[in-house]
Structure 1
Amino acid sequence: MTFTVVSLGGPVAQEGEEMMRSAGVTSIATGPYPKKDEVIALLARHQADAVIVRLIDRVDEAIMKASPRLKVIAKHGAGTNDIDVAAAKRLGLPVLAATGCNAHSVAEHALALMLALIKDLRRQDAFVRGGGWEKKSYQGHELRGRKLGLVGLGMIGRALAGMVRAIGMSVVAYDPFAPDDAFAPDLPRIAELETLLADCDVVSLHCPLTEQTRNLIGARELGLMKPGSFLINTARGEVVDEPALVKALEAGTIAGAGLDSFAPEPPAADNPLWNLPNVIVSPHIGGVTEEARREVSLQTVRNVLALLRNEEVHPRYFVRG
């Protein structure tokens, strides 16, 4: 039997496309952020067996029902906030995610944001480009000896913990859903988020976006952080109350923020964050290095092909609704 797979938001990496061609799969891709009615028409016309979700506002029940042959929805990545997982469950459609495939890449990006902030790289770069060469005013610091607080202890958080310990940081984590064996003597569990916020020099967010984590970091939480601390967000923009963050940064409540995600995306051209010197930003690319994109694509395609062929898929790739 031949299968049709539709990638919403662009094709997977070349190696993934080649894997599908070798398996006799018809692969179709839309452009970024296709309109809902266009997606429904496309899935119905081609009778898609599988959907790979890349760049689309949301895959809802109407889209899922567009093709009676649809057997699986696969996220090209780990976060599934752009998929109505509850609707998929009602329809009996498994949702898969390439869990962990870009964990190292995101962890490295979080570390890069931390280093850029504490070394004041944004302003130093502009200073030298503007003809400056004065070292006396530089007030950079070291991460060594400081404490990192992880909010969320999945594969990304654990990878980042290993990286920062190597440069002399201590690490604690808050994750009410992580099992006890995820923690260790050099990575202790913090029972309350408030305790972690008040005690850490850097707070890095690695939790999924759920109704419980939406605006998890707001004015109250930012007020608990140390005045010299940094907030890093490589998770989802909606986890942070962005207006509250702007106020905290303007007031000096915290020293700075490194942001790879925003709400909404793309952010507005007049976002007030752009005017703040104590912020460094990137366009949600922490998990899309060439290496990570390739591995995410390959694992996504492996998962889709295995499920379509009624072969075993590792339980860690199934998203629980």
Structure 2
Amino acid sequence: MTTTIVTIGGRMAAEGLAMLENAGVACISTEPYPGKAEVMALVEKHQPAALVVRLVELVDRDMMVASRNLRIVAKHGVGTNDIDVAAAKALGIPVIMATGANAHSVAEHTLGLILALTKDFRRQDGHIRNGLWDKKLYAGRELRGQKLGLVGFGLIGQILARMVAPIGMQVAAYDPFAPEEAFAGGVIRAMSLDVLLANSDVVSLHCPLTEGTRGLIGVREIALMKPTAFVVNTARGEVVDEPALTAALQAGRIAGAGLDSFAEEPPVESPLWQLPNVLLTPHVAGVTEDARRAVSIMTATNVIAFLRGEPLAQNLHARV
């Protein structure tokens, strides 16, 4: 009998699909952000051995138990806040992630947001489009000598730190779980989040979403920041208290924000949309074609290995 997997939230890249199909695995997929009823119907019909999770609100216990053949849940990317990991653990179903496959793309996207904010690109583009040519309105500044504060110092944060070093930025990171050897190349280990926030010109978020990081950047934390500081979030939207951030941006309490993720996705209309000191992208930092290909290949490689009873080809932090 053919082994089947269901990808929830859109198709994998062609390279990953080809690997699965060559291994005799039939691949069924939903469109992005499917409703629960659609997922349940597909899982009940095809009884997959694996669920690959892309763009969906939540893969819950009901979806997992709907297939009596389910052996593994694989996140097509990193971060498992859209998977009920506790339910999977109770059912004895491992959850794996494609850790690191899209890290470089996310780091590049973060740097792009930082540059666009500090160089005042959005406002200057708007001035030109509105027929205004006035260099006195330019509010750009150099990154050289500016302090970049990283909240979370895993692979993405470490890549970003290496990227900004030649520019001349001073980098500090707060991450109580990062090993000492991660702090190389002049990166300073911040001993508290408060100190990092107070001293940084740009605060960039790279921590996972957990109960400990939900709402991590709120009213009190934003009040610690410099009025000239920028916040960049390419992690998870729920790490930031969005109403608190909106109020601070509206009041000019901080200089601006670059946001790639939101508390609700797809997001409802928000006051953030109207603010001239905010840059917005639709959670695409890690989905360049290069990253999507790498994530799909890593995910396919490890789903195949797991279903064959072989060791995973990458260290993906498998959870049971």
How many Å separate the matches in 1 of 2:25 and 2:184?
A: 45
The answer on whether the counterparts of 1:104 and 1:156 sit within 8 Å (CA) in structure 2 is: yes
Give the superposed CA RMSD.
1.3
Q: Which amino acid aligns with 2:115?
A: L
Q: TM-score, normalised by structure 2?
A: 0.97
The answer on whether the counterparts of 2:8 and 2:56 sit within 8 Å (CA) in structure 1 is: yes
1:1-321 map, 5 Å: 2-184=2-184, 186-269=186-269, 271-314=270-313, 316-320=315-319
Q: Structure 2 unaligned segments of length 5 or more: list them.
A: none
Secondary structure of 2:137 counterpart: coil
How many Å separate the matches in 2 of 1:259 and 1:303?
A: 31
The answer on whether the counterparts of 1:94 and 1:318 sit within 8 Å (CA) in structure 2 is: no
How many Å separate the matches in 1 of 2:3 and 2:81?
A: 26
How many Å separate the matches in 1 of 2:53 and 2:318?
A: 14
How many Å separate the matches in 1 of 2:100 and 2:222?
A: 29
Deviation at 1:12, TM superposition (A): 0.2
Q: Deviations over 1:180-238 (max 9, x none)?
A: 22222611211110000001111000001111100000000000001111000000110
Secondary structure of 1:303 counterpart: helix
How many Å separate the matches in 2 of 1:178 and 1:3?
A: 39
How many Å separate the matches in 1 of 2:17 and 2:173?
A: 38
Runs ≥4 residues deviating over 3 A? none
How many Å separate the matches in 2 of 1:182 and 1:222?
A: 27
Aligned sequence identity (%) = 62
Q: Which amino acid aligns with 1:237?
A: G
Secondary structure of 2:197 counterpart: helix
The answer on whether the counterparts of 1:5 and 1:25 sit within 8 Å (CA) in structure 2 is: yes
Q: TM-score, normalised by structure 1?
A: 0.97
Q: Which amino acid aligns with 2:277?
A: N
Deviation at 1:93, TM superposition (A): 0.7
How many Å separate the matches in 1 of 2:74 and 2:198?
A: 38
Q: Deviations over 1:224-282 (max 9, x none)?
A: 0011110000001100000000111112211110100111112222x101111111111
How many Å separate the matches in 2 of 1:314 and 1:163?
A: 28
Equivalenced residues, count: 320
How many Å separate the matches in 2 of 1:131 and 1:43?
A: 55
